Structure 1
Amino acid sequence: MQTHLAPEFQGTPEGETAEAILRRCVHCGFCTATCPTYQLLGDELDGPRGRIYLIKQVLEGATPTQTTQQHLDRCLTCRNCESTCPSGVQYGQLVEIGRRVVDAKVGRPRGERLQRWLLKEGMTSALFQPALRLGQALRPFVPAALKDKVPARPQPQAFQWPQRPHARKVLMLMGCVQPAMLPNINAATARVLDAAGIQTLVADDAGCCGAIRAHLNDHHGGLEDARRNIDAWWPMVEGHNQPVEAIVMNASGCGVQVKDYGRLLAHDPDYAEKAARVSAMTRDLCEWLPALVPALKPQLRPNRPTPRLAYHPPCTLQHGQQIRGGVESVMRELGFEIAVSPGESHLCCGSAGTYSVLQPLLSKQLRERKLDALAPLQADAIVSGNIGCIQHLQSGTSTPVRHWIEVLDDALTA
C-alpha cells in the first residue's frame, strides 16, 4: 500500500512504524472474513481493511471525526486478522497507533473520559478487590446493565499455596483482576507446578502487566507498568545464586503483553536489554504442559470424575501469541475429554479486556454466538486460559466456566 505521510508524522517513531506496516497491506480482504465485528455489522469500515484505510487517511493528513473514532473503538484487537493475513500485516500495532492519533485530534466527551479513567485506574488498583466485594454483596440491587460485570462470589475453595521448596523455580504474575475475581486460578497453578517439582515465586511489587492502560490509549502508563514489573522481577531473573527458569503466565492477555515488553521498551536505554530478556523468558502456562506430563501422569487420581470439557482458546493465545492446539492435545494425553467448536473456535468471545464494558451490545452478541457454537458439544464445563474470557462467558451461561489448570488441579492427588 503506497503511503504519503503528512509532515507531522514524517520522521517520527509512530509514523515510521505505521508506514512500514501499511506498506505490507495488499488490499486482499482476507482479514474481513475472520473479523468478528465485520461479521456482525457487515460494514467495511468495521473490518481490518477498512480501519487500515481510515488510519492511512489520518496519517496522510485527513481530519478524523467521531465516526472515525467509533470505527476504531469497535475493534476488539483480537488480532484474528493477523492470523489470516498472508502479508504479515501487524494490525494490532497499527490500530493502537491509529487510536492514539485519532484520540489526540478528536478528543472524547467528559463522560467517556471519566469511564476510561475509572477502568484503567480502578481495575489496576488495590481498591479493586474491596470494590468488587461490595458489588457482589449488593449484586441483587445492581442495574442489569452492570450485573454482568459483577460476577457472583465464587464458592469457598482451598486457595492453599504450596509451601514445599524445589530446586526448579519459576516466577508468576498474579495479575491485577484475577486475585480478586477468581483467586483459585493462581493457587491451582502453583499446586500443579508443585506436583511437577517446580516452585512458584511471586514478586510482591509486580502489578498490572500494562495491557489495560495500553488498550485505553494510556501508552505512557502502560510503559510505566512494564518498567515496574521488570524492576520487581529483575533480582530473581538475574539470580546470582539460582535464577528462575521462566516467567509463567496463566492469563494469556497478560502473557501477550509481557512478551511484547522487548519491543515496547526497545528505545529505552535503561530498560531495553532487561525488557528483551524478560520477554524472552515469558511463557504461557500451556507452553509448559508437554514437559510436565511425565511428572503429572502418575499423580492423577485413578477414580476421578471425567467431565466433558469444551475449550475456548483465547484470542490473546491463538492470535496474539500464535499458540494453538497445546492445551487440547496435552489434556487429552492426561485423560481428559476436551473438544473445541469446529467452526467458531478462532473467533473472539467478546470480552477483549475492557471491550465488554465499553461496547456492551457487540460484546454480548459475540458472547451469545460463542456460547451457541459451544452448546452442541454438550460439555459439563467450559474451560479457557484467560480471566477475561472466563468471566465474560460465565455471565452468559449456567454451565461452569473455569481455567483449564483448575480442572487439572482437581484431578491430582492431594
Structure 2
Amino acid sequence: MKTDIPAATLATPRGARADEILRSCVHCGFCNATCPTYQVRGNELDGPRGRIYLIKDMLESGTVSDAAKLHLDRCLTCRACETTCPSGVPYGELAEIGREIVAEERGRGGLVKRLLLATVPRPRLLQALLRLARPFRWLAPKAHRRLLRKPPPSTTPQSADSSSEGRPLPLARPGGRVGSSASAELLSPTAEGASSGLPQAEASVLVLQGCVQRVVTPEVNAHLAALLDARGVKAFSLAQEGCCGGLPLHLGETFEALAMARRNVRRLASHDAAAKAHAIVSTASGCGVTWKEYGRLLGTDAAKAVASRVRDVAEVLERFKFRKRDDIDRVAWHPPCSLQHGQRIGGIVEGILQRAGYRLTRVPDSHLCCGSAGTYSILQPQLASELKDRKADALMSGEPDVIATANIGCQTHLDDAVSKPVLHWIELLR
C-alpha cells in the first residue's frame, strides 16, 4: 500500500512504524472473511481493510474524521485478521496507533469509558463498588449480572492491599455444584504427571491474578494453586501486582498503559521470589497477551526478559496428566481471541481436556469472537450482543454439559446467553 504521510509525522517513532505497517498491507481483503464485525455489518469500513484505510487517512491528513472514530470504536481488536493475513500485517499494533491518535484528538470519550479506566485497573476499588452494587444485582442488565455474583468465600484470595509479598495462593475448597471449583481434597497428591519442564526441586511459578479475575472469579487461580501443589509446584502471587495495561492500551490511552507496564517490570525485577520464579503464569488470556508484548511495547531489555518468561497456563499444564470430573462429560471449548489469535496458542487446551477424558463437542466458527473483547460489551452493547448470540448458538449446538473458556471476559459475557455453566477450563481438571 502506498502512503503519503507528512515528513514531520514520519520523523516520529509512531509515524514511522505506522507507515511500515501500512506499506506491508496489499489490500487483498482476506482479513474481512474472518472479521466478526464485518460479518455482522457487511460494511467495508467495519472490516480490517477499511479501518486500515481510515488510519492511513488520519496519518496523511492529520485529522480524525467521525468515520474513523466510529469504526475504530467498533473494532474488537480480536486480531482474527492477523491469523488470516497472508502478508502478516500486525493489524492490532496499527489499531493501537489509530486509537491513540483518536484519543489525543477527541479526548477520553464519554463518562462510561472514563469510569472504566478509573475503576477496572484498580481491583480494591472495583471490588468495593461491586460489593455495594451486589444487593441491587437484579436491577443490572442481565448481561452483566455475573460480575455482581458473590465469590465463593472459601476461595477468595487475600485482599490486594495485603503486605505479605510472595504469598502462596489459597487452595480451592470443596464445591457442591458444577459451576464451582473441584476441591483440593479431590486432587490426587500422587497424581501421575509427565515432566513439567520445571526443576523438580522447589519449582515455583508466579501466577498473575488479573484485575477483574481476582475480584469476580478468584476460585480460578485458587484451583490452579491446588493443581500445581498436587504436582510439586509452588504457585504464588504478588500482593502489589498492578494492571497489565491492556485496558487503557485498547482504549487508546497508550501513555497510561506503558506506565503500568513499566511499573510491573520494576516490581518483578525488585522482588526476589518473582525474579527466581521459573515462569510467570496467566490464567486470563487477555492479561497474558499484554504481558507477552511488554518487549514490543517498552523496548527495554528488562521488559523483553519479563515477556520471555510469561506463559499462558495451558503452556505449563500441558506437561502434566490430569483426570476429568465425574459429573461432566461433554465440553464445548471456546478459545478466546487473546489466546488463539493474540498468543497464537491453539490445540493445547483441547489436548489437555481430551487426555483427561472429556469429549469435546464440535463448535462452528470457533475462530470468531464472542463479543466480549474487554470493555467492548459495555461500550458497544448492540454489536456485542449480536456476536454473543451467534457464539452461544454455536457453542450449544453440540449439546455440551458445560462450556469452557480461558478468559474472564468471555466467561462473564457468555454466562447469561447459555443454559449451561461457563467455566474456566482449568476448573475441569483433577
Same fold, judged at TM 0.5 (above): yes
Q: 2:309 aligns with which of 261, 281, 294?
A: 281
Confirm or deny that 1:395 pairs with 2:428. Answer: no
Residue correspondences, number? 391
CA pair 230-347 structure 1, distance change in 2 beyond 3 A = same
List gaps (5 residues or longer) in structure 2.
157-168, 173-188, 190-199
- Which deviates further from its counterpart, 147-156 or 212-221? 147-156
Q: Which has the higher contact order (CA 8 A, sep 6+)?
A: 2
The runs of 5 or more residues in structure 1 that have no matched partner are: 267-271
Give the counterpart of 2:282 among 208, 231, 249.
249
Q: Partner residue of 1:338?
A: 360
Q: Is the 8 A contact 1:312 1:340 kept in 2?
A: no
Q: Secondary structure at the match of 1:4?
A: coil
Q: Which amino acid in the other structure matches residue 204 of structure 1?
A: A
Shift of 1:187: 0.3
Compared CA separation, residues 236 and 154, structure 1 to 2 (3 A): closer
In the other structure, the counterpart of 2:186 is none
Deviations 1:174-195 (A, max 9, x none): 1111111111011011111111
Partner of 1:3: 3
Q: Secondary structure at the match of 2:302?
A: helix
Residues 135-180 of structure 1: per-residue CA shift (max 9 Å, x gap): 22211233x3774574433555555814999700011111111111
The share of aligned pairs that are identical, in percent, is 46
CA distance in 2, matches of 1:87, 1:4: 21
- Using the alignment, how far apart are the partners of 1:393 and 1:186 within structure 2? 20
- Alignment partner, residue 161 of structure 1: 170
Q: Is it true that 1:120 corresponds to 2:117 in the alignment?
A: yes
**CA-to-aligned-CA distance 1:285-305 (integer Å, 9 cap, x gap):** 001122122xxx4xx47x833
Taking the aligned partners of 2:273 and 2:262, their CA distance within structure 1 comes to: 16
Higher mean displacement: 208-217 or 35-44: 208-217
Which of the residues 324, 327, 335 maps onto 1:313? Answer: 335
Secondary structure of the 1:23 match is helix
Using the alignment, how far apart are the partners of 2:259 and 2:240 within structure 1?
13
The 1-side partners of 2:205 and 2:254 are apart by 29
Give how far 1:64 is off.
2.4
The aligned amino acid for 2:210 is G
Q: Is the 8 A contact 1:236 1:244 kept in 2?
A: no
Superposition pairs of residues 51-90 of structure 1, within 5 angstroms: 51-61=51-61, 63-90=63-90
Are the equivalent residues in 2 in contact too, given 1:151–1:391 (CA < 8 A)?
Answer: no
User: Alpha carbons of 1:147 and 1:330: their partners in 2 closer, same or farther (altered >3 Å)?
Assistant: closer
Q: What secondary structure, in the 3-state scheme, does the structure 1 residue paired with 2:304 have?
A: helix
Q: Is the 8 A contact 2:102 2:252 kept in 1?
A: no
Q: Normalized against structure 2, the TM-score is what?
A: 0.86
The alpha-carbon distance between structure 1 residues 20 and 203, as it changes in their structure 2 partners (threshold 3 A), is same
**Equivalent residue for 1:372, pick from 393, 403, 406:** 393
Matched with 1:188 is: 223
